[in-house]
Amino acid sequence: MANIQKILPANVPGEFFVDKTCIDCGTCAWLAPDTFADQNGMAYVFRQPSSEGERMRVHMSVLSCPVGAIGSRMRQGGPGAEAHLPEPIDQNVYYCGYHSAKSYGAASYLIRRPEGNILVDSPRFAKPLIKKIEDLGGIDLMFLTHKDDVADHEKFHRHFGCRRILHEADIGRETAHIEEVIRGDDVQSLSPDIRIIPVPGHTAGSCCLLWREAILFTGDHLSWDSGKKSLYASKHTCWHDWSRQIQSMKRLSGFSFEWVLPGHGARCHLPFDRMRVELAGLIDRMTTTF
Ligand code: SF4
Ligand SMILES: [Fe+2]
């Protein structure tokens, strides 16, 4: 629970506030952009919500904040906010919310499909979310984009009996017992509408998941910079090899997609042609100006 005694001075007066335990994961700023922004490495409330819709986004942020840094002076929960998570995005894909501090607040997603649902990366193992995922059909497979975002994978595996899949280069002690291992750099098809694309760079075993040639789950390989309104890759948080990450970005040029759903950073939806242009621009910036 957020603590009013630890309130950040940047918050505007009013019901909602962010306290000093914020880890600057960025979630609230893209989940409720009319209320939260970032300043000096922490989030703050720059404007109090003024409509029911905005209030709901704030309450979804309260549920999703990995460290409970968002508080309400009214000490009221968000009636109905739990019903809004997971939130439908497009083509049977849902944003889960309930970020985990273990993955530094990374986003996770659920793909709902008749052959069995897929959870992309691990949210917090939170009871309201578990109930909602059960209602949506459970989890058959847990796809882990890379080693940073595995969070509560073991609890999800035990509860839902789901298989887990991760690239061999990212397997460590905590993930030593996962059921399926991706080896090498070849693109693999899980089914006709799902492809796994290894994209080493951010980590040695980073992989993207492409759903229906339309939605690309990118982990920390690729995201959207909502300030600059352009695709983004972080050299600062490239733990493995920046030149390999550039090569992996070039590899993505060979695929079509209109959505980028990242672990960290904002998601984006662009027409296919525009996405292609944006990706080319990012590759150019990665190779010349970064
Ligand atoms: S969601 Fe929580 S930890 Fe993340 S930026 Fe907002 S207040 Fe900080
Ligand atoms: Fe990462």
Q: Tell me the C-alpha distance between 260 and 173, whole Å.
A: 30
- 50 — pLDDT class (breaks 50, 70, 90): very high
Cβ–ligand 1 contact at 63 (below 6 Å): no
Closest CA to 89 of 212, 222, 273, 231: 212
Among residues 74, 94, 119, which one ends one of the domains?
A: 74
pTM listed for this prediction: 0.95
115 and 29: one domain?
A: no
134 and 278: one domain?
A: yes
Structural domain contains residue 80: no
Q: Per-residue pLDDT tens for 15-27?
A: 999 999 999 999 9
8 and 103: one domain?
A: no
16 and 56: one domain?
A: yes
Q: Per-residue pLDDT tens for 123-138?
A: 999 999 999 999 999 9
Total domain count, the chain: 2
First vs last C-alpha separation in the chain: 39
120 and 249: one domain?
A: yes
Judge contact between 15 and 2, C-beta under 8 A: no
Query: Kindly report the CA angle at 88 between 55 and 45, in degrees rounded to 5?
Result: 25
Q: Which two tokens stand for residue 279?
A: 């990706």
Among 67, 100, 103, 264, residue to substitute to test ligand 1 (most atoms within 8 Å of Cβ): 67
3-class secondary-structure state, position 283 = helix
The CATH number covering residue 263 comes to 3.60.15.10
Residues in the chain: 290
Amino acid at 194: I
Q: Which two tokens stand for residue 136?
A: 């949506």
3-class secondary-structure state, position 80 = coil
Q: Per-residue pLDDT tens for 211-245?
A: 999 999 999 999 999 889 999 999 999 999 999 99
Structural domain contains residue 79: no
Q: Tell me the C-alpha distance between 212 and 168, whole Å.
A: 25
Phi, psi (deg, nearest 5) at residue 52: -60, -40
193 and 264: one domain?
A: yes
- 278 — pLDDT class (breaks 50, 70, 90): very high
Mean pLDDT along residues 143-162: 97
The rounded Cα 266 to chain-centroid distance in angstroms is 8
Closest CA to 252 of 200, 192, 290: 200
Cβ–ligand 1 contact at 110 (below 6 Å): no
Mean pLDDT along residues 66-74: 93
Q: Which numbered atom of ligand 1 lies nearest the CA of 31?
A: 1
Nearest CA to ligand 1 atom 8: 22
Q: Which two tokens stand for residue 50?
A: 């003024």
